[in-house]
Amino acid sequence: MGHSPWLNFHEWRKAELHSHLDGAVRPATAEALARELELDFPRPLRMVAPPDCPTQAAYIGYFDDAIAVMQTAAALERTALELCLDSAAENIDYLEVRWAPRLHLRRGLAVKEVIEAVLAGLAAAPITAVAIVCGLRSHSVEENVALAREAGRFAGKGVVGFDLAGDELRFPAVPRPAFDAARAAGLRLTCHAGEAGTPAGVEEALRLGVERIAHGVTGARDHRIVERIRSEGVVLDLCPTANWKCKAVPALAQHPLPELVRSGVRCTISTDSRTVAETTLTHEFELAEAMGMNEPELRRCNETAYEAKFG
């Protein structure tokens, strides 16, 4: 089933809830920043994951070069603003930008300064753009708790949520204390789960009391977990191209998005990482339509994004 010429997703007013800053850096900007920082990296920079990425961990590797150039306040502010401009160009008027501040400390910035720089870029945007701070599965509980507390100091000042990201296979445990600290500070909670590993990983995220799960794809294999997600009203922020490139699904045609929506699960559609996934939100909606979703179902996903937003 191809794309319907009468459905112009580009023109739709859209909200995007799952967009990684370090996965959405313009390649030309990254090259310019690499020159400024005099980084001795192979050129061109390695920023676009191939379709045959074998695992989630391999996919995450394509964020590394972008992170390396995002080590100054100016670079963070610039990349945050450019992501908003690229989003505005396809009629996204509400955007939640997420990233892991502790990955941007190599040139002397403090976590507080990293957050301030990204918020400055978002504040300059022509759209409503807010931030979600990500802890990492590979970092210690103490590091993630300290991060959650620092992020909480920006609650109501541009940071709206706390998340956990990273390699689910190597680091399956979810540090509850960090989520407790974020909740106490007034941040909304989401968690990456179900892009690798077993459905149990999704259930572990549900136990944290999160409102939304980033991906949750593997959970669709277990009807009991799907029913729990549906009954608790938890939203899944799904990213078809990224889910396929991470091999959470073997093919886009087998993505669980249509089935989840029809079973009553609240789902949103996002890019995850425009540059690494090599996609746009418009294209993700076109892919969902190619999976057999009709216009009311697709509009419902977009409406859910506005209803479930943290800002």
Written as one string, the DSSP assignment of 161-176 is: EEEEES-TTT-----H
Three-class DSSP category at 285: helix
Query: Residue 50 corresponds to which tokens in the numbers above?
Result: 């191939």
Q: What is the pLDDT of residue 52?
A: 87
Percent of the chain with pLDDT over 90: 94
Catalytic residue among 16, 77, 150, 195: 195
Residue 243 near residue 269 (C-beta atoms within 8 A): no
What average pLDDT score do residues 243-259 get?
96
Using one digit for the tens of pLDDT, what is the confidence trace for 252-272?
Answer: 999 999 999 999 999 999 999
* d(C-alpha 190, C-alpha 206), whole Å: 9
Using one digit for the tens of pLDDT, what is the confidence trace for 57-72?
Answer: 999 999 999 999 999 9
* d(C-alpha 84, C-alpha 125), whole Å: 6
Q: What's the mean pLDDT when you consider all of the chain?
A: 96
What average pLDDT score do residues 199-223 get?
95
Three-class DSSP category at 88: helix
pLDDT above 50 (res 1):
no
- The CA radius of gyration of the chain, in Å to the nearest whole number, is 18
Q: What does the DSSP 8-state code read for residue 177?
A: H
pLDDT above 80 (res 18):
yes
176-184 and 141-152 are packed helices; what angle lies between their axes, rounded to 10 degrees? 10
Query: Residue 53 corresponds to which tokens in the numbers above?
Result: 């990425």
Strand partners, 135: 164
What average pLDDT score do residues 116-129 get?
98
Whole-prediction pTM value? 0.96
What average pLDDT score do residues 36-62 get?
94
Using one digit for the tens of pLDDT, what is the confidence trace for 161-197?
Answer: 999 999 998 998 888 999 999 999 999 999 999 999 8
Three-class DSSP category at 271: coil
Task: Give residue 3's pLDDT band: very low, low, confident or very high (50, 70, 90).
Answer: low
Whether 295 is a known active-site residue: answer no
Is the peptide bond between 258 and the residue preceding it cis, with omega within 30 degrees of 0?
A: no
- What stretches of 124-199 show up as alpha helix (H) in DSSP? 141-152, 176-184
pLDDT above 80 (res 2):
no
* d(C-alpha 127, C-alpha 148), whole Å: 26
Distance from chain centroid for Cα 278: 14
Q: What's the Cα-to-Cα distance from 136 to each of 23, 139, 170, 175, rounded to whole Å?
A: 15, 5, 12, 10
